[in-house]
Structure 1
């Protein structure tokens, strides 16, 4: 073998081997980077696979007896839409702060064990910190101030201000399902009628301080100002399917859990949460708004 050939093998061999080692390391590093950075998601849906469980929990349809929080929701509004007391919903979902709900959160809105309310779904808050971080870039849920009671004072958070024993017993008492006879909650001109969309009730005109009357016998489900756009609000539950709401009051004269009779003065008319003095009156059957005029006698 010539000296030139031997030198070429001696000098070129290590260089080529070094380049090959560098390339091999680079390839392995790239492969490892891809493997570590790629999300591991089982989308098969077959036996033994759960699919994208996080996506299902955040965006899937809510089971019967549950509600998926949407942007702009508050616990008070969710309670109104489902014919429940917001304190009950907070208790069923282990919420110590009624303002700490998150977009995408699954909330129980029917009593545990009730028909249509399966017990195997967890309803604990998505984040224990109380910070409202909306998933997938969604807007955070609106956080209202704590509700204002009939005296005008702002109560402390729910955890340190539980309802009194009498109210708890009153709210848990079963109600009938028989027909309910309603009467006008106030006398005055009809300013706006029910349309099922923008206006979910009727607006009745009047002057500040005029009496607002309970349209029927029942129990006060809510009294406060936690629902944006309703001002000082009273909600009365008449039976398992029917409730009435009285908004924009100047003064509230009843509190949660109070039993009321038809024609009882429950508030004074005002303009809270609106631009003029009026009573906004709603009737909800099985949580859905219905035309109050179909339940009221002719004026």
Structure 2
């Protein structure tokens, strides 16, 4: 009896599964797009220059926003505001005023005749006999434009290549995947400073850059050297243009190379517009 009842229950269960019951499939759903980050909590070893580099912001703007002065000392656990733009205030709307009280113009009587304006004639300039008048030329000669020299003059920096290898990847724009250029190299080959300046970051705290150096050249320009195998300078060191600062490696990368960037006021620019032509 029990065996028959058990068979009946199994039959009913199989019928239910074949008609309506089924297992819901498991799907991987992408996370919603992240919102703009408003704050950053400082971690150990971070500098304000490294934080500004991470978010593509100007270090002076972050410092001003958080009431920091040079040399921009920060400490672990400190909460920094990253917002740099303020909402624009809308101008007040202009209300058209009705001109009800404007006086009406009274036409003059037809008896009064308008006076004719006197036209003064200027005497023609006297030209001496035998002299011919030549028109003055207004065209000015312009010097030929030279974009390369103009960029160098704006930077006020004598740039040089940071490594001797061939070019692997070019700049793809400030919002592109490659914010600089990639230069091929072998393990241990020298990396030199592209210009004179001061080291403002040396470490591996920025994801995707490996062992990284950031050098400040003036109030506008910074340069970065990523994926190094060894760093030969530290934060605060003053370096000369062409001085060896690191060894080529593959830290944070899938091959031996140097990733090089130049940023102006926190924004990525094309290094090939600044480096001399090979």
Q: Deviations over 1:71-119 (max 9, x none)?
A: 9x9876532233549xx79993996315x65xxx62588xxxxxx99xx
Q: Distance in 2 between matches of 1:183 and 1:198?
A: 24
Cα deviation for residue 70 of structure 1 reads: 7.5
Unaligned runs of 5+ in 1: 1-58, 62-66, 110-115, 118-176
Q: Distance in 1 between matches of 2:241 and 2:247?
A: 16
User: TM (normalized to structure 2)?
Assistant: 0.51
- 2:197 is the counterpart of 1:218: yes
1:191-210 → structure 2 map (5 Å cutoff) = 191-196=168-173, 197-210=176-189
Q: Give the corresponding residue for 1:82.
A: 57
Cα deviation for residue 261 of structure 1 reads: 0.3
Paired positions, count: 163
What is the SS of the residue equivalent to 1:246?
strand
Q: Distance in 1 between matches of 2:212 and 2:156?
A: 24
Q: Which has the higher contact order (CA 8 A, sep 6+)?
A: 2
1:91-130 → structure 2 map (5 Å cutoff) = 92=68, 96-97=75-76, 101=79, 106-107=81-82
| Matched-pair contact (CA < 8 Å) for 2:49–2:59 | no
- 2:273 is the counterpart of 1:297: no
Q: Distance in 1 between matches of 2:257 and 2:202?
A: 17
Q: Give the corresponding residue for 1:19.
A: none
What is the SS of the residue equivalent to 1:79?
helix
| Matched-pair contact (CA < 8 Å) for 1:76–1:226 | no
Q: Deviations over 1:16-69 (max 9, x none)?
A: xxxxxxxxxxxxxxxxxxxxxxxxxxxxxxxxxxxxxxxxxxx9x9xxxxx833
Q: Distance in 2 between matches of 1:249 and 1:237?
A: 18
Q: 1:270 to 1:69 in 2, by over 3 A?
A: same
Q: Distance in 1 between matches of 2:76 and 2:40?
A: 18
Q: 1:274 to 1:238 in 2, by over 3 A?
A: same
Q: 1:264 to 1:108 in 2, by over 3 A?
A: farther
Q: Give the corresponding residue for 1:228.
A: 207
Q: 1:271 to 1:286 in 2, by over 3 A?
A: same
**What CA RMSD, in Å, does the superposition of the two structures yield over aligned residues?**
3.5
User: TM (normalized to structure 1)?
Assistant: 0.48
Q: Deviations over 1:120-178 (max 9, x none)?
A: xxxxxxxxxxxxxxxxxxxxxxxxxxxxxxxxxxxxxxxxxxxxxxxxxxxxxxxxx96
Q: Distance in 2 between matches of 1:91 and 1:248?
A: 33
| Matched-pair contact (CA < 8 Å) for 1:76–1:227 | no
Which protein is richer in helix relative to its size?
Answer: 1
Q: Deviations over 1:176-220 (max 9, x none)?
A: x96111000001111110001100000000101000000001111
What is the SS of the residue equivalent to 1:293?
helix
Deviation beyond 3 Å, 4+ runs, structure 1: 73-77, 82-85, 88-96
Q: Give the corresponding residue for 1:275.
A: 254
Q: Give the corresponding residue for 1:186.
A: 163
Q: Give the corresponding residue for 1:260.
A: 239
Q: Distance in 2 between matches of 1:208 and 1:69?
A: 38
Q: 1:212 to 1:83 in 2, by over 3 A?
A: farther
Question: If you compute each CA radius of gyration, which structure gives the higher value, 1 or 2?
Answer: 2
Q: 1:68 aligns with which of 11, 21, 38?
A: 38
| Matched-pair contact (CA < 8 Å) for 2:198–2:239 | yes
